[in-house]
Copies of this chain bind each other. A is one copy, B any other.
Amino acid sequence: MKRQQPPPDAMPSRILELPTWLISRAYAQSHRLLAEGFATAGLRGYHYRLLAALEDFGPASQAALSRRTSIDRSDVVAALNDLAGHGLIQRSPDRDDRRRNVITITPAGIKQLRALDKIVAGVQEKLLAPLSAADRTKLIRLLGRLVEHEDQP
Contact = CB atoms under 8 A, between A and B. Distances in A.
Contacts of A15: 48-49, 52
B130 A68 contact: no
Interface stretch (A28-36, A81-89, A90-98, A100-108): A28-36
A140 B69 CA distance: 28
Contact of A53 (B11, B64, B136, B146): B11
Interface in A90-129: 117, 120, 123-124, 127-129
Contact of A19 (B10, B53, B64, B124): B124
A56 B146 contact: no
Contact of A20 (B14, B53, B120): B120
Given A12-B49, A30-B20, A139-B139, A146 B130 contact: yes
6 contacts: A12-B53, A22-B143, A22-B147, A23-B30, A23-B143, A29-B147
Given A15-B49, A128-B146, 7 more contacts: A12-B56, A12-B57, A12-B69, A18-B120, A19-B143, A22-B140, A23-B30
